[in-house]
């Protein structure tokens, strides 16, 4: 019987690449999305992967969304917490709403989705959770105190939950991508992006498929001894 996975933010960018990579491994995938119905429909038509709409920042919506997926596809074995937003600005210009929205979605979403799926994984004695952090959660980034704080929090969340799941066959890991050629990065002004690329030792942006390959490894049967780990995929931009 095929494993069942939920990928949050799974219909575009890195999330889409993850959804496709897991499907290619024979996993039954449900792609969560928050807002763009037209894009989600196009994604499903193109890939055959069903898309389910709910806001990961909404705790009750996550519980209901997971129940709906399980009713249609079966118990959730794999969770990829990929959904994320940006509301950039320096602290002096950032308002409370911009802080709260990013924390609630990027970090709160990990908690909400884990609450909805981790107990079942624990009871069944097998599970894989992969949380998508960021190089900016490791190194910080000017104008992103909200995003950097949320992503840094993901790395701590990962290590703590890994300790809770280890003896029950549930691994919890994180991936910290560097700058990847997605729509989010495409929105960065060209002159700024050129400066970023200049700081990447391999000399280019990463590809979403490279992050997806990391996820397929960490969610596989062969990765049972890897837990509480953060895999940095950043072209050597941040090493520690």
Up-side HSE of residue 166: CA atoms within 13 Å toward CB?
A: 12
Backbone angles phi, psi at 80, to 5 degrees: -115, 110
d(CA 195, CA 15): 26
Alpha-carbon distances of 69 from 23, 31, 40, 63, rounded to whole Å = 16, 10, 16, 10
Nearest to 64 by CA among 103, 109, 121, 116: 116
d(CA 196, CA 199): 5
d(CA 19, CA 49): 8
- Lookup: tokens for 98: 């911009």
User: Which residues touch 45 (CB under 8 Å, ≥6 apart)?
Assistant: none
Choose the catalytic residue: 33, 52, 147, 179.
147
- Lookup: tokens for 7: 């990928």
Alpha-carbon distances of 54 from 67, 109, 153, 184, rounded to whole Å = 12, 11, 22, 20
Active site residue 147: yes
d(CA 240, CA 222): 26
User: Which residues touch 67 (CB under 8 Å, ≥6 apart)?
Assistant: 116
Which active-site residues does the annotation give? 147
């Amino acid at each position: 019987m095929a494993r069942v996975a939920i990928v949050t933010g799974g219909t575009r960018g890195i999330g889409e690449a993850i959804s496709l990579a897991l499907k290619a491994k024979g996993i039954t995938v449900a792609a969560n999305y928050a807002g763009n119905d037209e894009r989600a429909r196009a994604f499903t038509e193109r890939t055959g992967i069903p898309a389910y709409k709910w806001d990961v920042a909404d705790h009750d919506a996550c519980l209901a969304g997971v129940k709906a997926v399980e009713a249609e596809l079966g118990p959730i074995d794999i969770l990829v917490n990929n959904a994320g937003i940006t509301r950039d600005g320096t602290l002096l210009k950032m308002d409370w709403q911009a802080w709260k929205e990013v924390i609630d979605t990027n970090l709160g979403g990990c908690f909400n989705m884990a609450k909805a799926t981790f107990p079942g994984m624990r009871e069944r004695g097998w599970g894989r959770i992969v949380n998508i952090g960021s190089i900016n959660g490791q190194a910080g980034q000017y104008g992103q105190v909200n995003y950097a704080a949320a992503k840094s929090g993901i790395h701590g969340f990962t290590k703590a939950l890994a300790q809770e799941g280890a003896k029950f066959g549930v691994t919890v890991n994180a991936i910290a991508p560097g700058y990847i050629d997605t729509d989010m990065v495409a929105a960065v002004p060209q002159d700024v992006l050129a400066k970023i690329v200049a700081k990447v030792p391999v000399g280019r942006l990463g590809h979403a498929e490279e992050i997806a390959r990391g996820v397929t490894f960490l969610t596989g049967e062969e990765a049972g001894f890897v837990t509480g780990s953060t895999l940095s995929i950043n072209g050597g931009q941040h090493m520690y």
